[in-house]
Amino acid sequence: MSRISVIVFSRSYANSSWCLDELVKIMECKRTLRQMVFPIFYDVDPSDVRKQTDSFGEAFVKHADRFLLDMDKVLRWRSALTEAATLSGWDLRNTADG
């Protein structure tokens, strides 16, 4: 079992339902198993992740249409993103390779 999870948020991260499902699981492990979680914000503003704006907001418009009959899933994704984005992590927007 993993003790540490590193989440790399990129502009296209929220387009992937698989990534979002994994994020929900990671955040559940953080709460129940005290797993350490470290977010990396690669070329994205942490507030866009937290508030689901910009590319994250665009992805959720599509998810709302696609998962119209399972909005609980979409709400879990939103909650997990908000929770993960409030954690202390690394913002790589203004680095030479980020």
Place of tokens 């202390």: 88
Backbone phi, then psi, for 36, in 5-degree steps?
-80, 135
Task: Catalogue the active-site residues.
Answer: 22
The one-character DSSP state at 30 is: H
Q: List the structure tokens of 97.
A: 């390779």
Place of tokens 């387009």: 15
Closest CA to 18 of 86, 73, 98: 73
